[in-house]
Structure 1
Amino acid sequence: MKKLFFLLATTGLLAGCAGGKSPVGLALISNVKGPISATDHTVTSKKGASCAHNLLGIVASGDASIDSAKKKAGITKVSSVDYKTTGIFPFYGKTCVNVKGE
């Protein structure tokens, strides 16, 4: 009974731990990229990135918004938006949104 309780408690604690967006699901070690959107605008003279971090599912911070990435690079016309997620589950996760445009 004690082993079952320990297993359930551990699973419950890890369920909200550091993770991020991934096209293939969460893994013990992640380093994946994926698409968010694309437009017909083909000029990509500028690139902007914006990131958010998660530590142990306890502390999450950052602004991984498209708007933030656009502002950092001075982009007014978006060509494409992608993301990159890196991390070591369940300890640390980082997701960055990458915007290209002019």
Structure 2
Amino acid sequence: MKNTVCLIAAASFLCSCGGITERPIGVIYTNAADPIAATASGGSRTGTAEATSYLGLVAVGDSSIEAAKKNGGITSVSSVDTHRKNILGVVTTYTTTVKGN
């Protein structure tokens, strides 16, 4: 019985965490983009901001919407998108892209 519980726990851990988070995550590889917000207004400027994690132990950078707005010279936001890229949990990047004026 104890081995069965351990096997189920290990299998659920390695199943890409599909039921644990609201967005899909791959344990081996992730390269996914997600929309966060959008309005009816358009935008001619684009700003990005990025944060990187190494081995899930150290994370550096600023992937906030405010940083992306500042990098693009944007005051009025029309859309926000994110992009996640993960390779074996060794290096993970999270990029926020803001469009607006």
CA distance in 2: counterparts of 1:75 and 1:61, whole angstroms:
23
> What RMSD in Å do the two structures reach over aligned CA positions?
2.6
Partner of 2:29: 29
Q: Check the 8 A contact 1:22/1:33 in 2, yes or no.
A: no
Runs of 4+, deviation exceeding 2 Å = none
* Secondary structure at 2:70 match in 1: helix
Task: Name structure 2 gaps, 5 residues minimum.
Answer: 11-20
TM-score, structure 2 normalization: 0.75
Distance 1:53 1:93 in 2: 6
Whichever residue aligns with residue 26 of structure 1, its letter is G
Match of 2:96 in 1: 97
**Does structure 1 retain, via aligned residues, the 8 Å contact 2:27–2:89?**
no
Q: What is the aligned-residue identity percentage?
A: 37
C-alpha displacement at 1:55, in angstroms? 0.2
Which structure carries more relative contact order (alpha carbon 8 Å, separation 6+)?
1
SS at match of 1:25: coil
Q: How many residues align?
A: 87
Write the distance in 1 (CA, Å) between the matches of 2:57 and 2:24.
24
TM-score between both structures, scaled by the size of structure 1: 0.74
> For each residue in 1:48-72, what CA deviation from the matched residue of structure 2 results, as whole angstroms up to 9, or x when unmatched?
0000000001110100000000001
Deviation track 1:5-56 (CA, whole Å, cap 9, x = no partner) reads: xx9xxx8xxxxxxxxx9832233111110011111222x2100000000000
**Residues in 1 aligned to 2:71 and 2:58: alpha-carbon distance in whole angstroms:** 24
Please give the secondary structure, in 1, of the residue aligned with 2:24.
coil
Which amino acid letter does the alignment assign opposite residue 67 of structure 1?
A: E
